[in-house]
Amino acid sequence: MNEKLLEREPVRRVAAVLAAAGAGEVLTLAETARTAADAARSLDCPQGAIVKSLVFAAGEQALMALVSGDRQCDTKALRRGLGLEARVGRADADFVRQATGYTIGGVSPVGLATAMPLAIDAGLARFETIYAAAGHPHCVFAIDFAGLCRLTGGIVLDDIGSDAGK
């Protein structure tokens, strides 16, 4: 099963980006990584070390926020941080697939189908190693915070991730 996952086009796309950057490889998991909690259990790591790739819409514009798995995205802070005028709202599954080339549960922050503004939660820097989706709910890649910033070209924002309980 694991080898077949690596053959899927979205996973190959992520693997190619990682290989070109010398940034590691795609890891396959026996258990799902569809949610941050699932991924943390599968990887036996803190939930905060999971990168949630959240896609939003500002009008017709897609944008992405990479938020620590133990935090929620503050869309008002995201809008301010990216200098957007349009209201930021959650994108539906079809919009996500069209904008990213990935389905929800496997949305990777690299190898995106279209260019879009991308913000990174500074809270991810708390962890030496972080894990992001790699094109399928059973695939991830490990990277450090600086590497994620380089690979995605995202803007680091201090205030887009708020504690999930607040």
Q: What is the pLDDT of residues 117-134, one digit of tens each?
A: 999 999 999 999 999 999
pLDDT of 108 above 60: yes
Average model confidence (pLDDT) across the chain:
94
What average pLDDT score do residues 102-107 get? 94
Cα–Cα dist 156/67, whole Å: 10
Contact (CB, 8 A) for 71 and 161: yes
Q: Which domain holds residue 8?
A: 2-163
What average pLDDT score do residues 57-77 get? 96
Query: What do you get for the CA distance between the two ends of the chain, in Å?
Result: 40
pLDDT of 12 above 60: yes
pLDDT of 69 above 80: yes
The CATH number covering residue 62 comes to: 3.90.960.10
pTM of the full structure? 0.95
Sign of CA dihedral 101, 131, 36, 12: positive
For the chain, the domain total comes to: 1
Under 8 Å CB-to-CB from 79, ≥6 apart: which residues? 58, 87, 88
The pLDDT, as a whole number, for residue 25 is: 94
